[in-house]
Amino acid sequence: MMALCLKQVFNKDKTFRPRKKFEPGTQRFELYKKAQASLKSGLDLKAVVQLPPGESINDWIAVHVVDFFNRINLIYGTMSEYCTEKSCPIMSGGLKYEYRWQDDSKYKKPTKLSAPQYMCMLMDWIEMLINNEDIFPTRIGVPFPKQFQQVCTKILTRLFRVFVHVYIHHFDSIINMGAEAHVNTCYKHFYYFIREFSLVDHRELEPLVRMPRGWGG
C-alpha cells in the first residue's frame, strides 16, 4: 500500500525538488549503505542508530539528517492534499502547541504561518543548508564547521514538528492510505536517533509524549 501511495504522490501535478544524494565511493555513501542495510535487516532500531565503531560522529549525523529530510519530506508529500490553508491555517500540534517560522532572511521574527506555508519554508530551508558545502562538506579532507551539530539540532527539531503535525492532525489520512506502519517506523527510527545523541531538547518532544498509535516503542 505504501508503495502505491508514494507512486500516487509522484503522479500528481506537483514538482518535487531533487534530493541530495550521497556520491558513490565516498565515506558518507558507505555509511549510508551501512545504515540502510542495518534497517533492512530488521535489527532493533535502538541498536541501528548507534555510532559504528571507528566512525566519525559528524559523518554519522550528516548521513542521518539528509536521509531523514528525504523520508519526512516524502511522508508529508503523501498527505499534503489533506493539509491545506483551510484545514490547517496555523502550523500547530493540537491546541497547546503552535509553531512560528523564523529564518535569517524573509522572516526575521517568529511569524505565524499556515501549516502548508510552514512546511514549504521548512523544506526549502533544510535543502539550502544540506546543499551548502560550508555546512555539509562533501569533499574529502574538508572538516565540518564548529557549529555543525548546532545546525543539525535546529534541522531535526523542526523536522520533529512535521511528525507532531502529521500525527495530531492528519493521522487518520495516513491510516486511510495504508501508510501507518511506514510512518511509525520512520518516526521510531528518528526518535531513537535524536535521543541517542541528545540532538533535540526534551521539551520539544512533549507534544508526542504519549506515543502514537501503533508506535510500539
Bind-site residues for Zn(2+) = 83, 88, 165, 170
Return the number of other C-beta atoms located less than 10 Å from residue 194's C-beta.
23
Q: For residue 147, report the phi and psi dihedrals to the nearest 5 degrees.
A: -90, 15
For the annotated binding site, the residues are: 83, 88, 165, 170
20 grid coordinates: 541530495
Q: Which residues pair with 98 in a beta bridge?
A: 92
CB-based contact 210:93 (threshold 8 Å): no
Q: What residues have CB less than 8 Å from 84, skipping those under 6 apart?
A: 116
80 grid coordinates: 499534503
CB-based contact 158:199 (threshold 8 Å): no
Q: What is the DSSP string of 53-117?
A: TT--HHHHHHHHHHHHHHHHHHHHHHHGGGS-TTT-SS-EETTTEE--B--SSS--S-B---HHH
